Amino acid sequence: MRTLQELINTEDPGWTIVQEWIDKAKNKVEVLPCKKEDAEEALVNTQVTTRSLMGAIVYKTGGLLVDNGWIRIFGTGSERMKRSLPGWNKEKTFKEYGEAPPYLLVADDVIGGLYAINGGHFGADRGNIYYFAPDMLKWIPLKMGYSQFLLFCFETDMDEFYNGLRWDGWQEDVKALDADCVFNFFPFLWTKEGKDVNNSTRKAVPVDDAYDLNMELKNTL
């Protein structure tokens, strides 16, 4: 495990780049604040330097809420989103801090979708981002690394990417949703009956419950 001093890069910090991208982003990006002591702990537990964009987000933010909060990119955690990147992955993708995980969860969305960096679990394209699509119960390769993923979040027309998965008035619903919760749909999004989200019922549930259910369904169906 590298020390905090080894992980902080003051000469070439990645946060400068992230800030520039946020300032120019087409989609609304909200930077959540974080406490210094929490940021230091999260950075050490993540074991990436602040020269990297991921390390910069972990060290400088409580997380990022993108496109009115539809996508949540993990940082140190905050009052608005209590999950930190390392804390959310512990017991899910690794057992102990410092381990090399088969994949690393770096963001999620309000419908239960997950974004993860491939650590070897999904194939040979290590470092690339995969999306767990809750309407298919499958991991989909996005063919991009973490830096490209940030630009994807900031610049992409999300109505197009989430075509058929956004309902009328979703902005107000998402605004009122706790960032540690997701919407559970009935009928399920992956069923034939659940393809029209405007005719589905929605209920906010803790993100842990949704994660466990989706992983169980993925493995059994």
- The number of angstroms, rounded, from the C-alpha of 11 to the middle of its chain's C-alpha atoms is 28
Non-local (6+) Cβ contacts of 11 within 8 A are none
Q: pTM for this one?
A: 0.97
Tens-place pLDDT, residues 105-124: 999 999 999 999 999 999 99
Within 10 angstroms of residue 115's Cβ, the number of other Cβ atoms is 23
Render pLDDT for 5-58 as a digit per residue (tens, 0 to 9): 999 999 999 999 999 999 999 999 999 999 999 999 999 999 999 999 999 999
Across residues 77-103, what is the average pLDDT? 97
Q: Mean pLDDT, to the nearest integer, of 158-163?
A: 98
State the pLDDT at residue 121: 97
pLDDT of the residue at 28:
97
What's the gap between Cα 166 and its chain centre? 18
Average pLDDT (136-151) is: 98
Tokens of 197: 């989200």
Question: What pLDDT is stored for residue 221 in this prediction?
Answer: 86
Q: Chain-wide mean pLDDT for the chain? A: 97
Phi, psi of 157 (to 5 degrees): -75, 100
Give the model's pLDDT for residue 173.
97
The CA distance from 145 to 148, in Å, is: 5
CB-count exposure of residue 84 (10 Å: 0-12, 13-18, 19+): buried
* pLDDT above 90 coverage of the chain, percent: 99
- Mean pLDDT value across residues 164-191: 97
Instruction: Return the domain boundaries, the chain.
Output: 4-220
Nearest CA-CA partner of 77 in 16, 15, 33? 33
